[in-house]
């Protein structure tokens, strides 16, 4: 039976009760509009020993810029709770905005170096909003295994760094991107796309696929691989924020040749819809 709570005190009490009974807590923070990628995180928490899983649903205003899609971001709580019941989620935490940020709220949590590039450069303040809300959720939930999708690769690395630097008793897990059968990364924002835009969006998967093929054939020049990806995206998208090849751990760009583990990250827009994706060369499944 899935219990739905809206107050922070209820979340804290429920999580404390799990540990008091000898259980292990799994935490899956989301903004709702759930899809199979989110439910894969629930399954991963179970696989890692969670006896109880709490899933949070909160469209966090702090991580949206003034010209972004906060107002139109899909809010589908009733359907989300139904999916949680089917997936065996024990607790859904869906707080109101003023429950998370009461009047007079003025504190924030920042990670510095990891947030300066990529999403951090194109969305100023975004990661401060992410780390602030996730830090609050971690403190409310307490010791647990917290699962995040690696589609938001930089976000995962930032949260991992925050938990490590601040000695939070949280096991932060990054799960591989869950994709549609044609390679499109699952995202709550995919529902914005028209049928024609949905087809164009496959340019990202095609680009990442080409990068995997080139890397497998021995190509190691970062600029060459980035251009392969860009050439598939550019004709299909209206604009590209970045196509980047970087160290998979530090997110620092390679000056020329790839040395060690490399992640390709992409952000591009079709109409008003901004999509992101990534792949770790030589490790992730080819999109």
Give all strands of the β-sheet with 3-5 in edge-to-edge order.
3-5, 91-93, 52-57, 25-30, 144-149, 170-175
Using CA atoms, how far residue 36 sits from 12, 131, 256, 278, in Å, is: 27, 24, 37, 18
| 190-279 classified as CATH 3.30.1300.10 | yes
Cβ-count burial of 218 within 10 angstroms (0-12 exposed, 13-18 middle, 19+ buried)? exposed
- Detail the residues annotated as belonging to a binding site for ATP: 31-38, 149-152, 178, 186-189
Q: What is the residue-level pLDDT of the chain in tens, covering all 287 positions?
A: 899 999 999 999 999 999 999 999 999 999 999 999 999 999 999 999 999 999 999 999 999 999 999 999 999 999 999 999 999 999 999 999 999 999 999 999 999 999 999 999 999 999 999 999 999 999 999 999 999 999 999 999 999 999 999 999 999 999 999 999 999 999 999 999 999 999 999 999 999 999 999 999 999 999 999 999 999 999 999 999 999 999 999 999 999 999 999 999 999 999 999 999 999 999 999 88
190-279 matches 3-175 in CATH topology: no
pLDDT the model gives residue 287: 87
- Detail the residues annotated as belonging to a binding site: 31-38, 63, 149-152, 155, 178, 186-189
pLDDT in tens, 190-225: 999 999 999 999 999 999 999 999 999 999 999 999
- Detail the residues annotated as belonging to a binding site for (R)-pantoate: 63, 155
Residue 186 DSSP SS3: coil
pLDDT the model gives residue 218: 97
Q: Looking at the DSSP assignment, which residues form a beta bridge with residue 273?
A: 270
- d(CA 148, CA 277) in angstroms, rounded, equals 14
Q: Which residues contact 112 (CB under 8 A, 6 or more apart)?
A: none
Q: Give the predicted TM-score (pTM) of the model.
A: 0.97
Catalytic residues, which ones?
38
Q: Which residues contact 209 (CB under 8 A, 6 or more apart)?
A: 183, 286, 287
Domain map of the chain by residue range?
Answer: 3-175, 190-279
| 3-175 classified as CATH 3.90.1150.10 | no
Cβ-count burial of 102 within 10 angstroms (0-12 exposed, 13-18 middle, 19+ buried)? exposed
Cβ-count burial of 194 within 10 angstroms (0-12 exposed, 13-18 middle, 19+ buried)? exposed
CA 228 and chain centroid, separation: 25
Cβ–Cβ < 8 Å for 219, 183: no
């Amino acid at each position: 039976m899935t219990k739905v709570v809206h107050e922070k005190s209820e979340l804290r009490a429920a999580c404390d009760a799990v540990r008091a009974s000898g259980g292990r807590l799994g935490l899956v923070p989301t903004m709702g509009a759930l899809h199979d990628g989110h439910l894969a995180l629930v399954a991963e928490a179970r696989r890692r020993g969670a006896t109880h899983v709490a899933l949070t649903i909160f469209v966090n205003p702090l991580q949206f810029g003034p010209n972004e899609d906060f107002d139109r971001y899909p809010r589908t709580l009733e359907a989300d709770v139904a999916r949680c019941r089917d997936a065996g989620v024990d607790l859904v935490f869906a707080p109101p905005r003023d429950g998370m940020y009461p009047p007079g709220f003025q504190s924030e949590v920042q990670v510095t170096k990891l947030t300066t590039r990529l999403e951090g450069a194109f969305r100023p303040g975004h990661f401060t909003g992410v780390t602030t809300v996730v830090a609050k959720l971690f403190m409310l939930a307490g010791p647990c295994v917290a699962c995040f999708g690696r589609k938001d690769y930089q976000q995962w690395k930032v949260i991992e760094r925050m938990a490590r630097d601040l000695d939070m008793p949280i096991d932060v897990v990054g799960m591989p991107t869950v994709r549609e059968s044609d390679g499109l990364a699952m995202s709550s924002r995919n529902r914005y796309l028209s049928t024609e835009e949905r087809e164009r969006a496959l340019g990202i998967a095609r680009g990442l696929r080409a990068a995997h093929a080139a890397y497998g054939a021995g190509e190691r020049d970062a600029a060459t691989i980035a251009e392969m990806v860009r050439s598939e995206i550019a004709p299909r998208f209206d604009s590209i924020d970045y196509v980047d090849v970087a160290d998979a751990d530090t997110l620092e760009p390679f000056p020329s040749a790839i040395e060690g583990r490399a992640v390709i990250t992409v952000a591009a827009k079709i109409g008003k819809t901004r999509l992101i994706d990534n792949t770790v060369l030589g490790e992730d499944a080819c999109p």
